[in-house]
Structure 1
Amino acid sequence: MTNGGRVVIITGSSSGIGKASAILLASQGWRVVVNCSSSVAAANAVVDEIKTNGGQAIVVQADVGKDEECKKLVDKAIEAFGRLDAVVNNAGTTKFNAHTNLRGLSTEDFLRIYSVNVVAPYNMVKYAEPHLRSAGNAAVVMVSSIAGVMGVGSSIAYAASKGALNTMTLSLARNLGPEIRVNAVCPGFIEGEWLRNGLGDKAYEAARNNYISTTPLRATVTAEEVAECVAFFCSSASKVTGEVMMIDAGTHLGSAPAKAR
């Protein structure tokens, strides 16, 4: 497939949803800017995989939690490819802390989490805006979380940051049309090392089993499944903006009734 050489920046794309989105969009003909803050070897591996399969990609190391690094990331994309058609704001961070433990989060924790999860997506859009408007039918995709809809997740600070990201999605969508569409995806429990490392093996398996036994679709979510939704918003959803799509096997609906025996 080809997309006329369109270009996408995907923040935090050395692993997880970002990596899956980079590989999928590259397979659809997009030229991909793979971003990482520190895991350069992993980012290079993503680019190597894309190139092996005939795609085009580069790595730009940048800490999107810093304003000037967001500008650098956009500038490097334009320098390499001469245009920009989509930005996927996937980079995120958290602190795992029980919601009942209010003393477990400091002001510094909140500011760090917000700097990456909320301020960075804003700055990326701010610097990308003129290039996206020039491209026309451009897309911004926010990788959010059902934490921002339900007030659950790794910590209250994380949930609050994703709620803010969802609200910002609506504000940007209202103001950046008609040239730029802005949408968000809100995954539920995502299979993978990020959650496993944060929760620990025992808690991870317990949470996974709980989702599989209680969600309406009796399932968790994979990074590749989220990437399909990211690609939809980038490529196909030409009349969709301001949408906050939940990809959570129905978690937001509450526990499903027990199966009849």
Structure 2
Amino acid sequence: MMELKNKVALVTGGGTGIGRAASLALAERGAAVAVNYSRSAAEAGETVQLIESLGGRALAIRADVSREQEVKAMVDAVVHKWGSLDLLVNNASITRHIPMDDLESVDEQAWDALLQTNVKGMFYCTRAASVYMKRQKQGAIVNLGSIAGITGTGSSLPYAVSKAAVHGLTRSLAKALAPDIRVNCVAPGAVLTRWWEGREGQMQQLAGSLLLGKVAQPEDIARMICAILEQEALTGQIITVDAGQSM
């Protein structure tokens, strides 16, 4: 089992939701955590303060993962501060809310934005981090997919397709970066994050239809992320955490 204590971790989109929960979980296990954000500066700062209040090490660092030069600068800055980069959680993602059957509303801008951030962004972060992980001959990466990429339905058609691409990217990167770097993917179902604000009725209705009768919490996904990072016999896997939603 990989010991997370004293490892250096980068969590993209670490200011809110699953990203914040993953940052806190990694810090609780003794990792130094770089909390990436693009627009959520205040939230990333709060995540860092929470970690530091618990005696952990953290820093907030801005980069738009869809821009490769910003990603490279971010990774270099993390390594400059802490001397290494051992763990990467590719969490940063965006979506558009478009009814699945409304093909006419799916414009080129939606396709470009979602694929650029959700797929290319994860590739850029992995490529930049892998340079240092290869030198160390050790590293572990977890990508955040979605059951939308498995079931084909979600907040929009381009979102579901982008997450299916993340699952494919995970498998390809696992082969490309073996044996030194492990790459896996968590595919959450509905998770109780700020995405559900204003949709509480819809969330409660969904929860009642799940096998486990409740929607997952960000902390549930964060614990799975840490378990995958620790598991040294695991690579190229898509692990679903969805309270039975996709059954």
The answer to whether residue 214 in structure 2 is matched with residue 219 in structure 1 is yes
The code of the aligned residue for 1:76 comes to: A
What is the CA distance between 1:181 and its match in structure 2?
0.5
**When the two structures are superposed, what TM-score results if normalisation uses the length of structure 2?**
0.96
The code of the aligned residue for 1:90 comes to: N
After TM superposition, what 4+ stretches of structure 1 lie above 4 angstroms from structure 2? none
Which of 232, 239, 251 is matched with 2:227 structurally? Answer: 232
Residues 133-142 or 41-50, more deviating: 133-142
Match of 1:166 in 2: 167
The answer to whether residue 247 in structure 2 is matched with residue 246 in structure 1 is no
Deviations 1:7-54 (A, max 9, x none): 010000000000000011001000000010022111111111111111
Match of 2:151 in 1: 150
Whether the 8 Å contact between 1:137 and 1:238 is mirrored in structure 2 is: no
Whole-angstrom CA distance in 1 between matches of 2:91 and 2:237: 16
What is the CA distance between 1:91 and its match in structure 2?
0.2
Deviations 1:69-124 (A, max 9, x none): 11111111111111010110000001001011111121111100111100000011
Whole-angstrom CA distance in 2 between matches of 1:162 and 1:227: 18
What is the CA distance between 1:4 and its match in structure 2?
4.4
**Root-mean-square deviation over aligned CA pairs:** 1.2
Whether the 8 Å contact between 1:85 and 1:136 is mirrored in structure 2 is: no
Whole-angstrom CA distance in 1 between matches of 2:214 and 2:5: 36
Match of 2:33 in 1: 32
The code of the aligned residue for 2:235 comes to: T
Whole-angstrom CA distance in 1 between matches of 2:157 and 2:191: 18
The code of the aligned residue for 1:160 comes to: V
Match of 2:177 in 1: 176
The code of the aligned residue for 1:171 comes to: S
Whole-angstrom CA distance in 2 between matches of 1:128 and 1:65: 15
SS, match of residue 88 in structure 1: strand
Q: Which runs of 5+ in 1 are unaligned?
A: 254-261
Whole-angstrom CA distance in 1 between matches of 2:136 and 2:212: 39
What is the CA distance between 1:137 and its match in structure 2?
3.6
Q: Which runs of 5+ in 2 are unaligned?
A: none
Whole-angstrom CA distance in 1 between matches of 2:201 and 2:42: 32
Match of 2:62 in 1: 61
Match of 1:194 in 2: 195
Show the 5 A alignment for 1:109-124. 109-124=110-125
Q: Identity of paired residues, percent?
A: 32
Match of 2:20 in 1: 19
Whether the 8 Å contact between 2:145 and 2:163 is mirrored in structure 1 is: yes
Structure scoring higher RCO (CA < 8 A, sep ≥ 6) equals 2
Whole-angstrom CA distance in 1 between matches of 2:103 and 2:57: 46
What is the CA distance between 1:210 and its match in structure 2?
2.8
Whether the 8 Å contact between 1:62 and 1:73 is mirrored in structure 2 is: yes
Greater Rg by CA? 1
Whole-angstrom CA distance in 2 between matches of 1:244 and 1:3: 21
SS, match of residue 187 in structure 2: strand
Match of 2:204 in 1: 209
Whole-angstrom CA distance in 2 between matches of 1:82 and 1:65: 25
What is the CA distance between 1:252 and its match in structure 2?
1.2
**When the two structures are superposed, what TM-score results if normalisation uses the length of structure 1?**
0.91
Residue correspondences, number? 245
